[in-house]
Amino acid sequence: MADPARTEPAPARGTLVICRHGQTDYNVQHLMTGRRDIPLNADGEAQAKEAGQIISVFHFDKAYSSTLSRAFNTAAAALESSGTNNHLKKEDGSWDVEKRREIVELDTGDFTGRNHKTDPEIIAFERHYERPLPGGESDAQVVERVRKFYEDEILPRMAKGETVLVVSHSGIMRAFDIVLGFREPPEGGKGQWTHKTRVPNATPTVVEYQDGVMVNHYQLDNHKVPPAVAPPPANQNAVRKRNVFRPPSQG
């Protein structure tokens, strides 16, 4: 017979917030950026600050970015703008955002710096999931390194009920779609993948977990600032953040 006085432990409620970097001039000019370290433009800096307003309801236990400045600077600007994550600021004023190579953008190889809408060689290239770009990577290779990062770094933190920010790139966001089970890779690995799917700049996606199991996900509009601002950090992230947002209605 169960002891009525015994209290069951509260479920560990983790949250992963993933986001593409803000806009760059290469984005505007339709140039393939890959691993070239192109900085944010003025609009991209503004987008990063807007994203910070949206994520101000979260107190992050950990923040990651890719090794490229456009991702790191988006994360730093968003955390600064949030006003609720100063516990991640170092004594020197910089932000404690861990740079990881596993979430750097797809290597676009020989196509880097070229216009993907007008370049005849890029247009003629028959791209599919397991075929690398000339001198670069395949989508499948990107998915595998993102999967390893997710399994090694993110899942253990979700199981502990932590709140984690990841800022990366469009190719990494698409890879997360497969790693998280939102999309399936092409059957046999030979079909077209989702590389033409538009990934908006600096628009957070929230993935919620209970006891390490994903239970909900939704995207936040980076022009809609949430009405509530969370209280100061008190190591109660997973409890406080619940029910602040609702997933968008379908249809």
d(CA 36, CA 112): 7
Give the pLDDT of residue 198: 84
- Please, which pLDDT band fits residue 74 given cuts at 50, 70 and 90? very high
122 pLDDT exceeds 80?
yes
H-helix or E-strand spanning residue 214: strand 213-219
Q: Which residues are catalytic?
A: 21, 105
1 pLDDT exceeds 80?
no
d(CA 138, CA 142): 7
51 pLDDT exceeds 50?
yes
* Phi, psi for 130 (deg, rounded to 5): -100, 5
- Please, which pLDDT band fits residue 226 given cuts at 50, 70 and 90? very low
pTM here is 0.85
Give the pLDDT of residue 249: 32
Percent of the chain with pLDDT over 90: 75
How many CB atoms lie under 10 A from the CB of residue 25? 15
Give the pLDDT of residue 102: 99
**Span 183-206, average pLDDT:** 77
236 pLDDT exceeds 70?
no
The amino acid that residue 54 corresponds to is I
Quick check: 90 and 118 in contact, CB under 8 A? no
- Please, which pLDDT band fits residue 119 given cuts at 50, 70 and 90? very high
Lowest-confidence segment of 27-31, 45-49, 76-80, 228-232 by average pLDDT: 228-232
HEC-encoded secondary structure of 217-242? EEECCCCCCCCCCCCCCCCCHHHHCC
Percent of the chain with pLDDT over 70: 81
Quick check: 57 and 241 in contact, CB under 8 A? yes
Spell out the domains of the chain, with CATH numbers in brackets. 13-238 (3.40.50.1240)
pLDDT digits (tens, 9 = 90+) for 127-142: 889 999 999 999 999 9
- Please, which pLDDT band fits residue 189 given cuts at 50, 70 and 90? low
Q: Which residues contact 232 (CB under 8 A, 6 or more apart)?
A: 84
Quick check: 174 and 27 in contact, CB under 8 A? no
**Span 32-61, average pLDDT:** 98
Residue 46: strand pairing partners: none
